[in-house]
Every structure is written in structure tokens, then in C-alpha cells.
Amino acid sequence: MRRIGHSWTILAILALMATLSTAALAEGDPSRLRGSTRSEKDGWIFVHLEGAPERLGYQHGYLLADEIGDLLRVTRPFLARTTRHDWSFYRKASEEMLWKGIDDEYRREIDAIVEGMADRGVKADRWDLVALNAIMELPYYYVPWLDKKAGKTPETHPPGNCSAFIATGSYTTDGKIVMGHNNWTGYIIGTRWNIVFDLAPENGQRFLMDGLPGVITSDDDFTVNSAGLVVTETTITQFEGWDPDGKPEFVRSRKALQYSKSIDDFVRIMLEGNNGGYANDWLIGDIKTGEIAHFELGLKEHTLKRTKDGSFVGSNFPEGAALIKNETKFDPSNLGSSPNARRKRWGQLMDQHKGKIDVELAKTLETDVHDAFEGKLGANERTLTGMVETSPRGVPEWDWPPFYPGGTVQSKVIDATMAAKMELWAAIGHHNAPDFVAADFLKARPEYGWMKDLLKDMPSRPWSKFAAEKGDGR
């Protein structure tokens, strides 16, 4: 092909693309949408958002309006059924308890999400969005605290979500950091956990993360920022604790991702105003130094371990003796529980693959289906890649009953080389296990018929690489 001879064609195509882009933006506010993009790949929706909070939020709300509306649609009846509190309860808690702890920057961003949605014809208000952002905190930390305060047996407690690791030094092929994570949750919410955000805020660090539509932090927390920090976590199951006067976890985690340049920064920001919400074992790495950290954060108790040669793992087990005793009902001796069985499997894999861990092996580790308790293959509630819907036992540390439709919904991995370029690998579904087909499940398990209009299929998709866009336009 002669490039000169075809230059007019290229120019014509570019002109047409510019015209189509202008026409699309005309439906919203072109000045606030400037620089934002949306694309789709292998079940993921990738959005680039940039600028001041009013632009960042508006772009978020406009580009993901349908997805945010759908998440709100299923969340309302799901929480009403599973927590015995209707949506008005969560809206009221958002207004009367959480709003005061939200930084002005994030208040403006949340309000702008609502404006962006409105310009796409999707109705929601500030309190809907705050409650959605607190989807992990209010139902599973505030509600049980409130129940106990009223002398009631709690309806819910913190779930055990995710399997994760971080390794460095002699554990990896190049001596640099490798990190992986898979997200465990119920499929109603989990099948909608398919956004990759490339955020370039006006202030602080740029960051790349997976997340839920309408939520300003990752929430299952897999992130890399432009200061070279990689961050993930797993939930501390059976945790008990809440401070109604504290700062929401979704605000602290977002602020830590955006403004941290070091492990110390991240720890400091997460501790400021800690409300005990979404208590986690955080796995943090700094590619500038090769150091990794395990930061276990409860409400009153926290611990920090660091190394430049080793690995840390997470599968929802607490580690600190004081935290276990004072802030959880976790039983470390129950070796058949999901957190403890997965912890054992992580230990086996770290020992077996010491010195061999790279980003490709990380994909294999995060899709492992070996039950270390029973010593056999096959995804269930005790394997790193989990399927609860096939288990007759149920998973008491989640309060999930037998055959509950939940488990691993997606996975991500990253190494230091990728982190330096703001890249990550991600895959939808639970690999090495059968796809979830909603109609087949509901036919086999009629007791979950109330989920009919909330569940959708979850086919496993291939691993896909995502990268921050060039430039940031801030």
C-alpha cells in the first residue's frame, strides 16, 4: 500500500470519526466529557476518566449510566431480601451517618456522577450513589453492629471474599514484585463487577483499577498507581466492629490509592478516621523499592509486616492474635473452613513455585482448583478459584447457605514491569470450572427463584491486557 496515495482516505475517516464523536458528545456536556473514552473487551468495560471532580464524576455517570442503573436495580431487592433492610434504610444511613465523613473532593465527584446519569436519562440521586459506594460497609459492618446494639442476633456479618498473593525477591523469576487477586462474591453483584477504570484525577496519582459502576474506589481492590504502588486485599471474615463517627472505608481506600506514593502513605491514610468498615488484609507493593507489605486493618487492631524477599497471601483469614481474639469470631483451628483450606493451598503453592513466579504463573495460581483439605481437584468453596453453587455444605463464614450462587467472578494479575507501564491482566469468570448459567441453576435450585430477575449468566472469558491511555488531559 502506498501511504501517500491513501492519505486522503485516512483524513476522510478521521474527519468522520471526529464528526461522530461530536454528535455523541452533543447529548451530554462536551466540555465535561472531553478526553473521556469507553470501550468493551472480553466482558470488560474500559473507561478513561480525567480532570477535576466535576468532570471525573460526570464522565463516570454519563459513560456508565446504564450499568449504574442496572446495579442499583438489582442491589435494592437483593439487600432487602438478604439483610432485612430496605433501600430507604441505606439511603438514610448514607445521609445521616456517612456524608459527614466524605471529603469535599469526593462529594463533588459523587454529585457529578448523578448529573452524568441524568443527562443519559437514568434517574438516581446523591443518597443512592453514597449507599451504592457503601455496598460493602453498610450491609455487612453497620447492620450487624446496629443489630447487636439493639440486642438482636445479627442478620449479616462481614463476608469472606477473594484469594490473593504478592511476592518479591527470591520468590519471583526476576526478583521484582508479582501480584494476583481473584474476586469472590455473590453472582448478582459479581457479574456486574466488570469495569476497568483508568482514572487521571486533577490532583494526586493516576491509577488503573477494576471496579463496580458508580463506585469511586475499586472495592475488591486491585489497583496500580502512577507512583509505582500496587495494592490488593482480602476481607477479614467473621469480623465485628464499626465506628459511626468514622470516615467511610470507600473514601479512605480511594484517597489512599490516589494520594499514596509509598507503603507508609497508604497505611497512614487508611488509618485516618478508620470506621472499621470493610476490614481487610491489605497486600501492598512498591515497585520503586521492591518492598511488599501485609497490612491487617481492623477497627481497634492493626499490624504491618514488610519484606523485600518473601511473599504474603490472603484468603480471608485474620493473622494478628489480638485482632482474632478481640474483633472476630474466626476459628483458626477449623481446617475445613474456606479461609483456612485456601490458606493451606497458598502455602503449598508458594513453596512449590518459589523462584518461578511471574505474571503467567500468577494467572495459573489465581485459577487453581485444588482442594487442600480433601486433597482433590475440582472447584468448590475451599479452592482458590471458588464455586459455592455446587456445594451442599454451605459456607458458614459467609452466611451463604448451601448451593448459594456465588464464588469467583473475575481475576487480575500484574508484575513490576506492567505496573511501570500502568498495565494489568484481567479475566471474567471462574476458570477451570463450569460456566454459571442462570436458567440452569434456577431450574435445579428453585429455592432461589426470587433471584430470577437479578441473576445473569457468567461465562468465563479469556485473559485480556488493559493499559492506561497515553497522556491524561488533566
Residue corresponding to grid cell 448459594: 404
Element (H, E) at 74: helix 65-83
What DSSP string describes 366-395? HT--EETTTTEES-STTSSS-B-TT-SS-B
Lowest mean pLDDT among 22-36, 296-310, 353-367: 22-36
State how far the Cα of 403 lies from the Cα of 441, in Å rounded to an integer: 9
471: pLDDT strictly greater than 90: no
Q: Which pLDDT value is given to residue 276?
A: 97
The residue-averaged pLDDT of 306-320 equals 97
Q: E strands, 52-177, where?
A: 163-168
Q: How far apart are CA 132 and CA 151, in angstroms?
A: 27
3-class SS of residue 425: strand
How many CA atoms, within 13 angstroms, populate the side-chain half-sphere of residue 28? 29
Burial class (CB in 10 A: 0-12, 13-18, 19+), 104: exposed
- Residue 2: the pLDDT is 26
CA 328-264-60 angle, to 5 degrees, is 80
Residue 120, pLDDT > 60, answer yes
* Number of other CB atoms surrounding residue 263 within 10 Å: 21
Ramachandran quadrant class, 228 (left: phi over 0; alpha: psi -120 to 50; beta: rest): left
Give which of 53, 74, 67 is closest to 120, Cα–Cα: 67
148 band by pLDDT with thresholds 50, 70 and 90: very high
pLDDT tens-place string over residues 366-380: 999 999 999 999 999
Q: With 70 as the cut, is the pLDDT of residue 72 above it? A: yes
State the pLDDT confidence band at 144, using cuts at 50, 70 and 90: very high
pLDDT of residue 21: 39
Using the 8-state DSSP alphabet, how is residue 100 labeled? G
Residues forming a β-bridge with 304: 295
Reply yes or no on whether the pLDDT at 474 is more than 70.
no
CB atoms within 10 A of CB 386: 29
For position 18, what pLDDT does the model report? 37
CA-based angle 382:233:299, to the nearest 5?
Answer: 105
| Per-residue confidence band for 446, with pLDDT thresholds at 50, 70 and 90 | very high
4-18, 49-63, 279-293: range with lowest mean pLDDT: 4-18
β partners of residue 294: 283, 305
pLDDT tens for 318-349 read 999 999 999 999 999 999 999 999 999 999 99
Global pTM value = 0.93
Q: Say whether pLDDT at 6 is over 60.
A: no
Task: Please give the C-alpha separations between residue 401 and each of 20, 22, 77, 139, 153, in angstroms, as whole numbers.
Answer: 50, 51, 18, 17, 17
pLDDT for res 230: 98
The x, y and z cell numbers of residue 147, run together, are: 443489630
Strands 280-286, 291-297: pairing is: antiparallel
Strand 178-186 relative to strand 195-201, pairing: unpaired
* pLDDT surpassing 50 at residue 426: yes
Residue 119 has pLDDT above 50, yes or no: yes
Q: What confidence tier does 161 reach under pLDDT thresholds 50, 70, 90? A: confident
Burial category of 459 from C-beta neighbours within 10 Å (exposed 0-12, middle 13-18, buried 19 and up): exposed
**Percentage of the residues of the chain whose pLDDT score is greater than 90:** 89
**In this structure, are residues 283 and 231 in contact, taking their beta carbons and an 8 Å threshold?**
yes
Residue ranges and CATH numbers for the domains of the chain are: 163-467 (3.60.60.20)
State the DSSP code for 449. G
| Whole-number average pLDDT of the chain | 93
- Res. 152: pLDDT tops 50: yes
CA distances from 433 to 96, 355, 370, 392, 461 (A): 44, 28, 11, 17, 12
Q: From its phi and psi, is residue 373 left (phi > 0), alpha (psi between -120 and 50) or beta?
A: alpha
